[in-house]
Amino acid sequence: MRTSSGTMNLNFHESLAHKVTFHSIGLHGQTGYEENPIAMYHQTSRYLGPIIMKSEFHHGHYGWCGPAIYFAKTPQATYRKAIGNESHSGFIIKAYVKLGKWIRVTKDHCGDPEVRMGLLNAGFTAFIVNPGDGDEWLIFHSQQVVKMEKQFEDYTKPMNAPGEQSVDW
């Protein structure tokens, strides 16, 4: 049954994967399916932004839910999301993302490698998590990004490669 937001409520209650994945850990998150691309935003550095746009996204190594490609729903939200040690700022990409089969999880559940693997094995291709500062959308396959465009570039930020120090002249 499709909801007004275009998502479909999925019934996993009869599948063994559901019973093992969900009931064994007490996870009863909202689930759905979204086949149409949704506009989302990703902030990175001025150096990496054009490289990503010419090729594709790659998983980060860190984040609330481990290796994934993380997005925010608005450009403004990327400023409070891109704050980890591996995060960069200065370039915002607007990406059109096919979520596919998604689930809303807690940061505790999605950070657990066994839970994460169970959800991926159950066919989920996207997670939605709120670590306390608003929702984040995570995908696991770069092919889920069907289109990208530059949303914003902050020319006051240095144009350094990752690991390079900025030089003040």
> Over the stretch 19-32, which tens digit does the pLDDT of each residue have?
445 544 556 678 89
Q: What is the largest CA-CA distance in the chain?
A: 65
Q: How far apart are CA 105 and CA 94, in angstroms?
A: 24
Looking at residue 64, what is its pLDDT? 81
Looking at residue 27, what is its pLDDT? 60
Looking at residue 62, what is its pLDDT? 75
Q: How far apart are CA 76 and CA 111, in angstroms?
A: 25
Q: Tell me: the pLDDT tens digits for 90-107?
A: 899 999 999 999 999 988
Alpha helices for 101-167 (secondary structure H) = 107-110, 113-121
**Where are the strands (E) in the chain, listed by range?**
31-34, 38-45, 69-71, 90-97, 100-105, 126-129, 136-139, 145-153
Looking at residue 169, what is its pLDDT? 34
Nearest CA to 135 out of 31, 40, 57, 59 is that of: 40
Looking at residue 93, what is its pLDDT? 96
User: Domain 16-153 falls in which CATH fold?
Assistant: Phosphoenolpyruvate Carboxykinase; domain 3 (3.90.228)
Q: How far apart are CA 153 and CA 67, in angstroms?
A: 25
Cβ–Cβ under 8 Å, residues 86 and 66: no
| CB count in 10 Å sphere of residue 77 | 18
| % of the chain with per-residue pLDDT over 70 | 75
Residue ranges of the chain whose pLDDT lies below 50:
1-14, 16, 19-20, 23-24, 166-169
